[in-house]
A and B are shown apart, each in its own frame.
Chain A
Amino acid sequence: MKPLTVIGFLGSTLDASKFGPSRWNKWRPTVGLAMHDDLRVDRLILLHGKAHDRLAAYVTEDVRAVSPETSVDLRRLDFKDPWDFEEVYGTLLDFARGQAFDPEAEDYLIHITTGTHVMQICLFLLTEARDLPGRLLQTQPSRGEIRPAGSYSIIDLDLSRYDSIATRFAAASAESASFLKSGIETRNGAFNRMIDEIERVALRSRAPVLLMGPTGAGKSQLARRIHELKRLKHQVAGSFIEVNCATLKGDNAMSALFGHRKGAFTGAVSDRPGLLRAADRGMLFLDEIGELGLDEQAMILRAIEDKRFLPVGSDREAASDFQLIAGTNRDLGEAVSAGAFREDLYARLNLWTFRLPGLAARREDIEPNLDYELDRFAEREGDRVSFNKEARQRYLAFATAPDASWPGNFRDLAASITRMATLAPRGRIDTETVDVEIARLRRLWSGQARADEAGAGDLLSEFLTADALAAIDRFDRVQLADVIRVCRASRTLSDAGRTLFNASRTRRSTANDADRLRKYLARFGLEWRAVAG
């Protein structure tokens, strides 16, 4: 006979009673489950909060009286908010992972009658996911008679007749899957599919992950959420270390990443462990990895492959076991062909590559992010700010319009909402605040556009004489500059043609992209060989 262990919460209401003999005339689920003739509980793991220490001790004494066969194992589990899904689920998952369950040697019943509804749902989910390897135990009072034991039923979720419940609860488990999105209910289908895939990869793989996307698309925040998710699931124990490689220049880059020995160079007055060692058993996020020097790239590659590296000025290797997440807004493939990025490191990074779209490509997610930013503002400032209806509509109409370019992506949106929330009179964003903000954004973005146009001029001057350039309309300059950029990044004329005519080529019966591109360049007296350089 396998010993039986029951795991459940102390019911702060249901298990409570008057401290006197009348308690034996009341159904108390936790005591009752130890009173059945045909259910022998060898061990009861009773979870309870600090506030209920006294009740827990009292219930324990009564369980022992009615069931000397049962050893009661009291476990303190405190929740800041026992109705908070994420907190309860995470804490219970930690608890479950921390138990040395042995289903071969012991049977487990998960008592779901006590605790808040959220606790009950989480126990269900963990049982359904086999994090708690048992069957569900449900207890209820006896109808029409006073029986302190009540009655019980055991539900084995592995039986197919419970499939319909499992399906219904899949919706609830999706809630925990939205973790990576910080709980923002994003509506963009492509983005949501990508997040689902990242979640699967994050939980099943320790290989490096590459996040591509423009500045402000949320690479850094996503990397941090991946780390938190893995920590919650006990897959990493160490810290999240984040560094922007664009800030690492010269000697300092090596020493910041790999550490140095005291006296390794002037100014090295003490040992420095370096970022890689700080990320041991955790996660290292190297943002803008394309900015890293070639020497550092070689060292990083070795550190990923062998988990070892040489600190500056040291003759002994240091070890660090970290998972790498890299971020970039550059096309690393292009950088490899230009010789600015190591091909072998790129090959390592390119296993799990995810492209985070910019905000302009996810206009349907602007509204949920707007609410998220308002929540964050409230959390940060302790001040809840809201839009009035008209102001909200006006801002969203502007923000989601095709001409809103959002060059700084979610970072721009966050800054914009913070400005409005700060300036909002009496905690209410009105149309006036919105109008001022829209004007400000237009001004900022036109400055950006002028910079783009100026950038185009710089590029074109490499190929065209000043006279020729002066003869080209501003309208055409920007377009031509972009065409040249694509050509430089492409291997062949046909490749460039395919990239440039990506939409219209699907509608044509014959694909003559190369010819179209050649004719376009010829209009400006340019040839493929010259621009591909």
Chain B
Amino acid sequence: MVDKVRILVVDDELVIRESLHGWLKKSGYQVDTAEGGSSALAMLEKTPYDLLFLDIMMPVMSGIEVLEVVKEDYPQTLVVMITAYGSVETAVQAMKRGAVDYLMKPFDPDQLSLLTEKLMQQKRIMDENIFLREQIAEAIRFENLVGRSEAMQELFTMIQDVAESDSPVLITGETGTGKELVAKAIHAKSARCNGPFIAINCGAFPEQLLESELFGHERGAFTGAHRAKKGRLDLAHHGTLFLDEVGTVPLKMQVDLLRVLETKEFHRLGGTTEIGVDFRTIAATNRDLQQAIKKGEFRQDFFYRLNVISMHIPPLRERRDDIPLLAEHFLDRYSRETNKGIDTISKEAMALLRQYDWPGNVRELENAIERAVVISKKRRLDLEEFSFLAPHLSAAAETYSLEKTQIAHLLRVLKEFNWNITKAAQALEINRVTLHKKIKKYDLRPHRASS
């Protein structure tokens, strides 16, 4: 049996409507008919048809006119044009405008059957694609944006609320806090989720290149522009444009960008044609833009245009409760990626991670876990795997825990003497028994390979 696929037959001739309706119904499809373009469009408003058989030659509203509306308003609906002998050229025109195929009356049964089956397969793939996009959107929603802290819960709620609107968003936060992830999550949850998410790090390009990256260029616009290139503004059409490090955009370009954001039109470098675009802007910065405005480095009007909705992501040190959750999350990912089967982080190591200041925020934590997983040869990450954090630890330990400082120091010395207890004890100026006791007490272990 065939799934209930919904088909609309649009033809001004009753006999064609009736016989196609009958044939499709026998094939198990749910079929409706419409005698003209306007009634078809009215029906499409109420029912999401999978497939439209659309006659080209109809009075009042031609098939081509109906096709244009359908492609604009209901892009998921596949359209097959029905044509009479002699109007094949028009049918080909229709295919250029988005029809998937055409049939010439009367159809060969074989042709009709094969075409319908092929289109249903195509439709299934399209639906599957949408489903997968939704799943990915859901995955992006949570990926790396991990946190149980009150600050993060507030952020999640805000992402949901912000996604529903189409207003520009300005995300502030220290480097590595996940500003791009928040932007992606907003995009994935928004009505533009099926469109592209185009990110550009404005701080990564010199002025001339940034302009070309954003606006694109026509062929010959400057030396080396051998062919025309679409800019990110172009690519973001129907999607979201993410301007990372927006605080670094030069003043002159702020004026140009402001104009684009206001008019939704721009022209490529070396070009004169105005190109209309439709995208949502999300900008991010770790700079204090208010200060930059005072210093005359950032335009106030540009700031107001970007900062319709503002979101702040707290630094990791202000939400230490999220560190274990994030650490486990990254451990899980890198353990899987490297096939190492590392499943835990020791209590001591976790204490160290919680205590560390993370100036590079979540990105630094992620890198730390990745590095520890790569160097570890055990199923558990211990303090020694995080010894590269020790310089920060020793600085931090003076103000925090004596015990942690002791653990880190012991590990450093033991490692230095290749876990030779006698030599390490001499260096520590304690006896071997005391060192043994300490090793046991703090569950200190060398790499398996070196033990």
> Are the chains A and B members of one assembly?
no
